[in-house]
Amino acid sequence: MSRPSDPHSADGQFENHSSELLRFLTRQVKCEELAADLRQETWLRFRRRESGQEIGNLRAFLYRIARNLIIDYRRQQKSRPVEEDISIELVSAQPGPERAASDAQRLERLQRVVQGLPPHLRQALLWNRLDGLTQREIGERLGVSESMAGRYILKALEHCQQQMDPQP
């Protein structure tokens, strides 16, 4: 297809229609790369025709091959399962190994920090964050006011924050 020896030969005539055929295919399939592939397949099918087969109108013959290729392509696309047409990126909900190790270290550090709290602060924090108790309920259990229970929780949170993310 790149250099026909005779412009009047079948290959030379195909070359004469090649650009026009590519534009037609591109309009039909809306993809230049696919259109170029279909043009190449048109040329291959044209070359494989029976040698004794007479072609009255070469241009019409080439377009008929191209149209048949488009029909075949569209049928193939319709018969493909949907999963093949959609790119699916599988993302695990689980963290990667590095993140899991880092998270485990951070959790161990937090446990040590919480264990280092004075007992009344630790208990107020755990009841609030793990058991979901209100400040009033915590105050009643510890024998202090609701506002004091709130201060215990706040003081425990501030301590944990300072220990987990020390300022430079």
Three-class DSSP category at 30: coil
User: What CATH number has the domain bearing residue 121?
Assistant: 1.10.10.10
Q: Which residue has the higher pLDDT, 36 or 14?
A: 36
Distance of CA 83 to the CA centre of its chain: 14
Identify the pLDDT of residue 4: 45
Instruction: Tell me which of 13-17, 21-25, 107-111, 119-123 is least confident.
Output: 13-17
Listed residues 83, 113, 137: the one ending a domain: 83
109: domain range? 97-164
- What is d(CA 31, CA 33) in angstroms, rounded to the nearest whole number? 6
pTM above 0.95, yes or no: no
pLDDT per position as a tens digit, 106-136? 899 999 999 999 999 999 999 999 999 999 9
Three-class DSSP category at 131: coil
Q: What's the Rg (C-alpha) of the chain?
A: 38
Same-domain status, 108 and 143: yes
Q: Does the pLDDT value for residue 77 go beyond 70?
A: yes
